[in-house]
Structure 1
Amino acid sequence: MDKFNSLKMFLAAHDHGSFGAAASALGTDPSTISKAITRLEESLEYQLFYRSTRKLQITEAGRTYLETVRRVLAELDTCENQLLSDNETPSGTLRLNLPVSYGRSNILPLLSAFCRQYPDIKLHVTFSDEYVDIIEQGIDISIRSGTVADSRLVMQKLSPMDFLIVASPEYLQENPISGAEQLAEHPWVRFKFKQTGKLMPMLLGSGDKVPPALEACSDYVVDDGKALVDLCAAGLGLMQAPHFVLRKALQQGRLVSLFPATEAEGFSVCMLYPKRRFLPAKVAVFIEFVKQSLSDMNETSGHTWARDIHPILKW
């Protein structure tokens, strides 16, 4: 900072013709200007001005230095003004990383409206269920489902993760289910995590333990959320999945919820972004836009639309 101020004083001394005039322009005193120029000269081992009682005359070395100093300070000023403008007006490229199922079902449908509202923001969107170091990858915002722990990041909870057991209307017409004790008697479509190869655990409400016979049900196994829904809707059997995977199929009547939703405690849908003192406007408006849009869908940090189908059962 001392070097930066010295450069400003050097430029002012040349442009105003004297230490006194430069001091008046910068709101300081002539001795401060003189000492700053002397420090620059000592560090460069070149004389920048010929000094006299009447005026300053720049040296040849000083003129060469002046051209660079003027350009650097001008570029810095332009950059600072641009940053200030960017932080006041949402603009620039916003890089998003979204989980596949949640991103497609809950975020992707919002992006066209967001772009119309903020036309100066350009989106770069990637979809991945694998861990991504968003700081290393230069990502502005990531949305994750599950658990996340990273002290470098700010985490905002978008919603709980509520799980529903569903089947197609056609399947239920041919295979009626009257209680949870019958679940193990039916074929199941199960989801397998690509990263670990493990099946998504079964969850029941009210702290009930999942019977081994039910946990062992895995007649059909897929590692894609859309395929999971499509196979179940085709009548292959029962399935359990997070609420956001099922919303559209339930609305369309392709699937029917059998029991109250089960909340997976310790798991949630979160928005993550790097900790920083000043949050860029493009990031701030996206966060608020998503939260408001989800709220309009009856999705908040403490509630999901799935709880309106049946009362919530705690896991």
Structure 2
Amino acid sequence: MDKLRLIELFVATCDEGSFAAAARRCHSDPSTVSKAVSRLESQLGCSLFQRSTRQLCITPAGQRYAATVRPLLQQLNACEHALQHLNDAPEGTLRITSAVCYAHLYLQPLLQAFCQRYPAIQLQLDVNDLHQDLIDNDIDVALRTGYIKDSRLVARRLSPMDFLICASPHYLAAHGTPQIAEDFSRHSWIGFRIKQSQQLQPIFLPDRHGHYQLHHLQRQHITDDGETMAAMCADGLGIAQLPHFLARQGLQTGALVSLFPYYRPPQPDNGVFAIYPKRDYLPARVRVFIDFLCAHLDTLGEGSNYTWAEQWPALNNASRASG
């Protein structure tokens, strides 16, 4: 039995006046309480109680010890209650890191409403496309496309990452609309360079049966910024395979059209994830933020296993199949 438990049982005995009453208060049994007090007396080298068959009387040494340890227990209990309240109340500094384009297109538009609902939360935003160590950098939650396997972290998928092959209407008017994968070799293609690996994002195109396959195509233009990629596509510089969150605004305004039904990579790490350190008690500020973000995504037609891209009409309505 640890020292703190011995002290708790000792103070309970002082308050209740008997081992039996102290046992009821501490959800124990009289013999355990009696042995605990005896062990404490042995450690201290003095008697804390005078025992008789009829009563239990505290000694001067016991009074002095109780006067010392009782405030310590009270302070400890008060501290624990305060920490529990801190963990349960949505308050304090919330440190978020997010991929750049996701922060601009999905995170920033909801921040005002989030802060209005939770005014006791202060935000610290780190917007970049690098995978940082959340624990070493004291980050509460990261919003990332994909995730790195780490037993110290929890990765909650906010949505799959669906890809749409897009072009601007005036590009198609000038260069024609490709019908099958082989047609793309005659078109200008905008590529995306992944900052973390410096590799080009692979291109998957549907065959005649709508099954997506990897294709190696020359990229006439390359960028490492997703929003620039979508803007170049809308400006008619070529065709691009865009993640759904980058294609969304252009498709809704008519600046872009989707040439084929969506493609969803089958890998388990495909998607947009909220990543946070694994802990027994998730702070309320983190929990309410993730819940708020998920509710916002639901209004956009996105959830952990679906996106609005599943229903978006395509110029070439081949039957869709994940590669």
The reply to whether TM is greater than 0.5 is yes
**TM-aligned CA distance change 1:88 to 1:234, over 3 Å:** same
Matched, 1:309 2:317: no
Matched, 1:207 2:206: no
**TM-aligned CA distance change 1:48 to 1:166, over 3 Å:** farther
Deviation, 1:293, is 1.5
Matched, 1:293 2:321: no
Aligned residues of 2:11 and 2:66 also touching (Cα < 8 A): no
- Which SS does the other structure have where 1:82 is aligned? helix
Aligned residues of 2:202 and 2:214 also touching (Cα < 8 A): no
User: What aligned pairs does 1:182-201 form with structure 2 within 5 A after superposition?
Assistant: 182-201=183-202
Aligned residues of 1:140 and 1:274 also touching (Cα < 8 A): yes
Deviation, 1:208, is 4.4
Matched, 1:246 2:247: yes
For structure 1, list consecutive stretches of 5 or more residues without a partner in the other structure. Answer: none
For structure 2, list consecutive stretches of 5 or more residues without a partner in the other structure. Answer: none
Question: Residue by residue, what CA displacement relative to the aligned partner does 1:200-251 show, whole Å, maximum 9, x if unpaired?
Answer: 1111133344444xx2x22221111122222233332222221112222332
User: What aligned pairs does 1:15-54 form with structure 2 within 5 A after superposition?
Assistant: 23=22, 26=25, 33=33, 35-43=35-43, 45-47=44-46, 49=48, 51=50
Matched, 1:56 2:58: yes
Letter of the structure 2 residue corresponding to residue 281 of structure 1: A
CA distance in 1, matches of 2:133, 2:152: 10
- Which SS does the other structure have where 2:304 is aligned? coil
CA distance in 2, matches of 1:20, 1:277: 35
Deviation, 1:21, is 9.7
Aligned equivalent of 1:9:
9
Deviation, 1:71, is 4.1
Aligned residues of 2:141 and 2:276 also touching (Cα < 8 A): yes
Aligned equivalent of 2:272:
269
Aligned equivalent of 1:132:
132
Aligned equivalent of 2:145:
145
TM-score (norm 1): 0.81
**TM-aligned CA distance change 1:126 to 1:41, over 3 Å:** farther
Matched, 1:237 2:235: no
Deviation, 1:297, is 0.5
User: What aligned pairs does 1:75-114 form with structure 2 within 5 A after superposition?
Assistant: 75-114=75-114
Deviation, 1:196, is 1.6
Deviation, 1:100, is 2.1
Deviation, 1:269, is 1.8
Aligned residues of 1:152 and 1:274 also touching (Cα < 8 A): yes
Aligned residues of 2:152 and 2:278 also touching (Cα < 8 A): yes
**TM-aligned CA distance change 1:299 to 1:20, over 3 Å:** closer
Question: Residue by residue, what CA displacement relative to the aligned partner does 1:9-36 show, whole Å, maximum 9, x if unpaired?
Answer: 34445567x5569738836677655543
Aligned residues of 1:48 and 1:62 also touching (Cα < 8 A): no
- Which SS does the other structure have where 1:263 is aligned? coil
Aligned residues of 1:41 and 1:47 also touching (Cα < 8 A): yes
TM-score (norm 2): 0.79
CA distance in 2, matches of 1:12, 1:64: 13
Letter of the structure 1 residue corresponding to residue 293 of structure 2: V
Letter of the structure 2 residue corresponding to residue 314 of structure 1: S
- Which SS does the other structure have where 2:161 is aligned? strand
Letter of the structure 2 residue corresponding to residue 194 of structure 1: K
Letter of the structure 2 residue corresponding to residue 303 of structure 1: Y
CA distance in 2, matches of 1:29, 1:210: 70
- Which SS does the other structure have where 2:290 is aligned? helix
In percent, how many aligned pairs have the same letter? 39
- Which SS does the other structure have where 2:160 is aligned? strand
Aligned residues of 1:153 and 1:272 also touching (Cα < 8 A): yes
**TM-aligned CA distance change 1:255 to 1:48, over 3 Å:** farther
Aligned residues of 1:168 and 1:255 also touching (Cα < 8 A): yes
Aligned equivalent of 2:74:
74
CA distance in 2, matches of 1:25, 1:262: 64
CA distance in 1, matches of 2:212, 2:227: 28
* Number of residue-to-residue matches in the alignment: 308
- Which SS does the other structure have where 1:36 is aligned? helix
Letter of the structure 1 residue corresponding to residue 22 of structure 2: A
After superposition, the CA RMSD in angstroms is: 3.2
Letter of the structure 2 residue corresponding to residue 242 of structure 1: P
Aligned residues of 2:212 and 2:322 also touching (Cα < 8 A): no
